[in-house]
Structure 1
């Protein structure tokens, strides 16, 4: 596979309705939580929005957002490019979370490794942690794999 073909394939990776996002949405719906999706009027266009509770949930891919887990590795080729790109993604995530908190929203991040793969947590447990956070949690929450 040529580099051009590889870049074409990577550009086709969707930002919405990913497998981890769908798993989380099903789990929190089963737990009785209702939500809206991808509100364009909020910074970062959060994956899940619970307006009545002034809370948003981002479902981040471990690779694309440089999570500190086995799935969040920097590729061995073109490391300078990938390091800069992934660092900018993390900066953008922090800027968007800060903007949301400044608007009075609470922000949760559920990492891909918490929902799929070897380190995953039972989806019902993830939903329960989110429900507890919605009731009395701090401004921010991050849920990663075990």
Structure 2
């Protein structure tokens, strides 16, 4: 198990924004936090996957944060689960893909997203809702690459 897996096993996640895979590869997350939309709760959260980054350096430089789990929901196709929640500060949100045995496949963490409280599915898209009712849409096939 790599650094990302070790953090997850310890109940933690990387601190820096990113999509972290169990093989210690990662993709930048470009997220305009919902704080900009607070007066208009319920708005979409702008979200894009960017290029790769050095996961080991990100964790070394920025450290890790404890995970608070707010939901754990099976995927509609039966191929694992999605879980998510918040962290040590009220503005942090994250969600993760687990396999059927509960092992981490990847985790996405965002400093300005606010905690994610639920997920529902529309075909291969996971729709995450945070505590301000803002929604973030993620194509699960794209996240796996």
Considering fraction of residues, name the structure with more helix: 1
Q: TM-score, normalized by length of structure 1?
A: 0.27
Q: TM-score, normalized by length of structure 2?
A: 0.27
Considering fraction of residues, name the structure with more strand: 2
